[in-house]
Amino acid sequence: MLDQLVESKADRTTNRWRTGLLLVTFVFAFTSFASGLVYSLWNSDLFVGGEGLELSMLVAPVPLPEEAPPPEPEVEQTNEKLDIDTRTKLIANMEMSPPKPPDKVSNKKADVPPIRDNQTVALGDTNRNTAREPSSTTGFDIAPPGSGGGDASPDSPPPAAADPPPPPPPPPAVPKRISKGVVNGSAVSLPKPAYPAAARAVNAKGSVNVAIVISKDGSVISANAVSGHPLLRSAAVSAARRARFRPTLLSGQPVEVSGVIVYNFQ
């Protein structure tokens, strides 16, 4: 039965025809796509702004001439605005006492006008009077150097008064207590301590240091043993409380003194 089966095979011509058809179809499709792309690019507007590119030259603006600032108005200062007369030399009139005796006595008329009554005057380069009438007070004022002449201003503040001298510094404070070392030598009365029987029984010997505070009148106001045998300390403190010293003066004032009394037990 199997030997009667017929095997079907594609004809070589048919296969060649199919391959050519596919190739022609692919070439036609590619050609159509490429032609449409080229046509669309050719007809598109590639100009910038529709007018193409233009090359312009940049020209700097012409600088304008600078205008000169308007001149400041000159302010003229006349004697009418000044309250100070100016003189090249101070010469008192007949009704005033001269500020100082003249250097040389002469009967020649001076070329400098005298000082007006009740008017402030200052040394300057010219001799002129202010338009202000002198005040009703008697006497005259001499303006300090640099305040007179044509450069003076009526609105300038008066010269500041000199500051009073500072008060003397207070005297240094005297301390209430000073410290000294061993004060055995400065004692007026230094009682000897009794040798305790308990210390004698154990043969306790040595030095005992007692820190004390001496009052302003020379008496001991506190005593405390700081070193030595324990059996000897009580007797040393008792003797230190009975000691007396000279008052200690510092800048003429009595002060308290802290020191140490040394007792030797043999």
- Supply the pLDDT for residue 71: 74
Q: Is residue 104 part of a domain?
A: yes
Residue 224 sits in the same domain as residue 258? yes
Residue 16 in any domain: the answer is no
Domain assignment of residue 71, yes or no: no
pLDDT of residue 44: 62
Residues 141 and 190 in one domain: no
Instruction: Assess if residue 8 is contained within a domain.
Output: no
Max avg pLDDT among 10-14, 44-48, 168-172, 185-189: 185-189
Residue 258 lies in a domain: yes
Residues 188 and 130 occupy one common structural domain: no
Q: Are residues 144 and 223 in the same domain?
A: no
In the prediction, which pLDDT does 236 show? Answer: 94
Report how far residue 211's alpha carbon sits from residue 183's, in angstroms, rounded to the nearest whole number: 10
245, 238 Cβ separation under 8 angstroms: no
pLDDT in tens, 58-101: 666 777 777 777 776 664 554 444 567 777 777 766 666 666 66
In a 13 Å sphere around the CA of 16, the CA atoms on its Cβ side amount to: 3
Nearest alpha-carbon partner for 196 in 158, 157, 235, 170: 235
The mean pLDDT value for 154-177 works out to 71
Containing structural domain, residue 82? 77-154
Q: Model confidence over 142-163: pLDDT tens digits? A: 555 555 444 445 555 666 667 7
User: For the chain, what is the largest distance between any 2 Cα atoms, rounded to a whole number of angstroms?
Assistant: 182
For 191, list phi and psi in degrees, rounded to 5: -65, 150
- Structural contact between residues 84 and 122, judged by C-beta atoms closer than 8 angstroms: yes
| Residue where a domain stops, chosen among 121, 154, 187 | 154
Lowest-pLDDT range of 17-21, 84-88, 182-186: 84-88
Same domain, 182 and 146: no
pLDDT at 255 over 50: yes
Q: Answer yes or no: are the C-beta atoms of 67 and 117 closer than 8 Å.
A: no
pTM (two decimals): 0.37
Residue 139 domain-assigned?
yes
Write the single-letter amino acid at 57.
M
Average pLDDT score over residue span 161-173: 77
CATH code assigned at 212: 3.30.2420.10
Q: Is residue 257 part of a domain?
A: yes
Q: How distant, in Å, are the alpha carbons of 76, 104, 121, 124, 155 from that of 111?
A: 27, 15, 17, 15, 31
Q: Given this model, what pLDDT does residue 221 score?
A: 92
Say how many domains are in the chain. Answer: 2
In a domain, 229, yes or no: yes
